[in-house]
Amino acid sequence: MALVPCQVLRAAILLSYCSILCNYKAIDMPAHQTYGGSWKFLTFIDLVIQAVFFGICVLTDLSSLLTKGNDSQEQERQLKKLISLRDWMMAVLAFPVGVFVVTMFWSIYIYDRELVYPKLLDNFIPAWLNHGMHTTVLPFVLIEMRTTHHQYPSRSCGLAAVCTFAVGYILWVCWIHHVTGVWVYPLLEHLSPGVKVIFFAAVTVIINIFYLVGEVLNNYIWDTQK
């Protein structure tokens, strides 16, 4: 795909995430007023990750255009730093977290929506916004992977970073329960302490698997093995 269409596409995706975030924050939901606010939900954290990631993509595109034909080594170094940050975010956060949110949400939703997205939320969140938070994330990140080659970090460093994020969020969820006595997700209310440990471990493994899937898919698309 040509450079200019890619730039326009990334800018459009960034604007869509900004719109989704603004509309979501404008909703007057009781959950937003409790401890942790919107930041206790992985969906919201993922939206912020995606918006920041595509913001960096747009900034990288603009910097690339501005430095094109410029012999300044300093600008070249700054551009390489931006590209490295963009690639790291894609590998460690945007792809694995985005794919995890979409697959886990819809898997549990199909089984029993009350465990993850109670019907009560339909009174606050319109269907288009729900899909903006839980559906379009996947095609957007796949489009980015298809249009731009991303340099993945070493597998050990990448997996360590993904594990750190997963464990950090799990600890955050447990802390919220410690403070409020309420689990962020209704699903956790139905699990015994032992099963919760197994569930959290499984979640960590799954998000690491999605990291590996992203690495393999990136290599396959761009044929980096050859």
What element of type H or E holds 39?
none
Q: What is the mean pLDDT of residues 198-219?
A: 96
Tell me the C-alpha distance between 99 and 63, whole Å.
Answer: 28
C-alpha closest to that of 152 among 226, 78, 95, 206: 95
Cβ atoms of 47 and 133 within 8 Å: the answer is: yes
Q: Measured between alpha carbons, how far is residue 101 from residues 27, 78, 83, 112, 122 in Å?
A: 21, 32, 25, 16, 19
What is the pTM assigned to this prediction? 0.92
Percent of the chain with pLDDT over 90: 70
Cβ atoms of 67 and 79 within 8 Å: the answer is: yes
At 115, the pLDDT band (50, 70, 90 cuts) reads confident
Output the pLDDT for position 1. Answer: 42
At 3, the pLDDT band (50, 70, 90 cuts) reads very low
To the nearest whole number, what is the mean pLDDT of the chain? Answer: 90
Residues 6+ apart with CB under 8 A from 129: 20, 23, 24
Tokens 């919107």: give the residue. Answer: 38
Percent of the chain with pLDDT over 70: 96
pLDDT digits (tens, 9 = 90+) for 162-179: 999 999 999 999 999 999
| Confidence check: pLDDT of 63 > 90 | no
pLDDT digits (tens, 9 = 90+) for 95-105: 999 999 999 99
Span of 56-70, 78-92, 96-110, 184-198 with lowest mean pLDDT: 56-70
Tokens 């326009």: give the residue. Answer: 8
Q: What are phi and psi of 84, to 5 degrees?
A: -65, -40
Q: What is the mean pLDDT of residues 69-90?
A: 85
| Confidence check: pLDDT of 216 > 80 | yes
Output the pLDDT for position 225. Answer: 47
Span of 48-57, 66-75, 145-154 with lowest mean pLDDT: 66-75
E-assigned strand segments in 33-139? none
Record the tokens describing residue 130, joined without a space. Answer: 């729900």
| Confidence check: pLDDT of 226 > 60 | no
Q: What is the mean pLDDT of residues 121-128?
A: 89
Tell me the C-alpha distance between 204 and 26, whole Å.
Answer: 32
Crossing angle (nearest 10°) for helices 127-134 and 3-26: 130
